[in-house]
Amino acid sequence: MEVAVRSTPALTAVAALALAVAALPAAADPSGPAQPDLKRFYTQKIKWAACKPDVQNLSEDVTKDKDVTCGTVKVPLDYADPGRGTIRLALLKIKSSGDKRGSLLVNFGGPGGAGVAGLADAKKDFGYVGKGYDVVGFDPRGVGLSEPVSCGGDPEPGDDVEDPGDASAILKELRATAAECAKKSGPVLPYIGTVNVSRDLDVMRQALGDKKLNYLGFSYGTRLGAVYTAQFPKKVGRMVLDGVDTLTEDVAEQALVGAEGRQTALDNFLLWCTKNAGCVFGEDSRNARHAMTKLIDDLDAYPLRSMDGQEFTGQDVVSVLGSALYSRQAWPALSQALGALLADGDPRALLRMGGSMGGATRTKVPSDNSAAALMAVNCADDPDRPDAKRVEREVGRLQEEFEEASPVFGKSMLLPVLLCFGRPAGTDYIREDVRDVDTPKFLLVGTRGDPATPYRWTVETAERLGSSAVVLDNRGDGHTGYFGSKCVKDKVDAFLLYKQIPKNGSSCSAE
């Protein structure tokens, strides 16, 4: 599971924020039987047209590409009560360059990752598999251009409270924040969650004209794919799950594992950096770790300010690190960007790495959509929910546990955990029912050095899903294998195009 990194307020205020989201509408349990009047959704046809910069928020280079088209598909807001309303999901298609076998739906993870912009950015990576498939990216419900959820920006609850110990004043402010989340997110918020997105996948499959779902999911997208195998086992075509998520561990454990994994990746980066000439951190990796932590603490205390008043904080550095460490190929650029920040106080290279400069201006998507969607989906997928009093009692212990796991990423990884505690309990369908699936063979890719989804999750998920799951062991580094390992990419493409599935337990060596 990829967890968004964002700025955090004082921990006491964060704990109180967890209580405020209780004011949000209760999450619907989407695991019940489908209603019989879904025919209108399953008989629709997608109207593909040229993508437009002002509609899909894509660059002109993409929208001028004749092989790239955009469309929408209509799905029910609530599958248990389709008459409650509908929403439209945004899609982007890259037309097959050869003999089309069908469509390949792609999910890049998150939860909260936008598939329309993601596929537009990664078009060249799907050139070979695109010889046999129309490759289709989509924004899941609540994400990107598909009724995006929001809490009105990135609030810092508690800042306006004179006494941080005044619980009633904090709660009053945070109730207003929770009301803003519900107001800004609209009716989709209670119906976010992987079980509903999986049902959306099946509607998309039918609308694309495919009898079976061909699917490539990364990170959180593997959770989505696994849920689909349980809900629609007879509709599974060629499926690949890369960077396999857990189906059993709760939000707190997932976040803690993520903090540990990111810290390990950061330590590996600093070790690599200090062994190369010109590393801004010098030649001692231990001193480099201290210097990195001090850099973040100093920028949190004394942020850099641009001419227009915008701040660049230590948590902004954490955010860039969280994404840049996913790929070893990004390490040289990260080293140079950190050098510019430390030597000259210039954060522009880091901002570019984090996507804050250049590229398309996504004016139709709230700035906090990715973080808001991540929280909403993870909370909706998790049935464990300690009450508010327990959160208040345990917040100190949680802080220590997360900061011990990672002095750099611990605080930011704790925030989504606390935000879930105040929400209604999510579905238990994933934990209880996604197991022992009866489908054709499908491929799971686990990377040994993955900082976000540890290899053990691949093994555990494969065991849960049963004999249909075939594991490919990628012995390299980075989050997922398809984009970083030629061996993995070749084996995945061979399976998707020619149904050549590797032997269970076979491996790709580190590159």
Task: Give the angle subtended at the CA of 64 by the CAs of 61 and 69, to the nearest 5°.
Answer: 110
244-273 tens-digit pLDDT: 999 999 888 888 998 998 999 999 999 999
Of 471, 456, 467, the C-alpha closest to 504 is 471
CA–CA dist 412, 173 (Å, integer): 21
Tokens of 210: 């495919």
Q: Where are the domains of the chain?
A: 11-25+155-186+366-421, 39-148+189-250+429-508, 256-353
- How far from 274 is each of 77, 267, 437, 496, CA to CA, in Å? 52, 11, 47, 41
Considering the four listed CATH numbers 3.40.50.1820, 2.60.120.10, 3.40.50.1970, 3.40.50.2020, the one that applies to the domain covering 39-148+189-250+429-508 is: 3.40.50.1820
- pLDDT tens for the chain, residues 1 to 511: 554 433 334 434 444 444 444 444 444 555 555 455 899 999 999 999 999 887 777 877 787 889 999 999 999 999 999 999 999 999 999 999 988 999 999 999 989 999 999 999 999 999 999 999 999 999 999 999 999 999 887 544 444 545 444 434 444 555 566 677 777 888 999 999 999 999 999 999 999 999 999 999 999 999 999 999 999 999 999 999 999 999 999 888 888 998 998 999 999 999 999 999 889 999 999 999 999 999 999 998 999 987 666 788 898 899 889 888 888 888 999 999 999 998 888 898 888 887 654 334 445 788 888 888 988 899 899 998 766 666 667 777 888 899 999 999 988 888 777 777 667 789 999 999 999 999 999 999 999 988 899 999 999 999 999 999 999 999 988 899 999 999 999 999 999 999 999 999 999 998 7
Q: Could you say which DSSP state residue 244 is in?
A: P
pTM recorded for the entire structure: 0.87
Phi-psi label, residue 345: left if phi above 0, alpha if psi -120 to 50, beta otherwise: left
pLDDT of residue 456: 94
Q: Please count the other Cβ atoms lying within 10 Å of the Cβ belonging to residue 448.
A: 15
pLDDT at 158: 45
**DSSP single-letter state for residue 187:** G
pLDDT tens for each residue of 6-24:
333 443 444 444 444 444 4
pLDDT at 354: 72
Contacts of range 328-332, beta carbons closer than 8 Å, 24 or more positions apart: 328/477, 328/478, 328/484, 329/484, 331/269, 331/272, 331/273
The pLDDT value recorded for residue 385 is 77
* Cβ-Cβ contacts under 8 Å for 38 (sequence gap 6 or more): 76, 79, 82, 203
Phi, psi of 227 (to 5 degrees): -60, -40
In this predicted structure, what is the pLDDT of residue 481? 94
Q: pLDDT value at position 368?
A: 84
The per-residue pLDDT for 160 is: 52
The span from the first CA to the last CA of the chain, in angstroms, equals: 24
**In the sheet that 86-94 helps form, which strands lie side by side, from edge to edge?**
49-50, 68-76, 86-94, 133-138, 102-107, 213-218, 236-242, 442-449, 469-477, 506-508
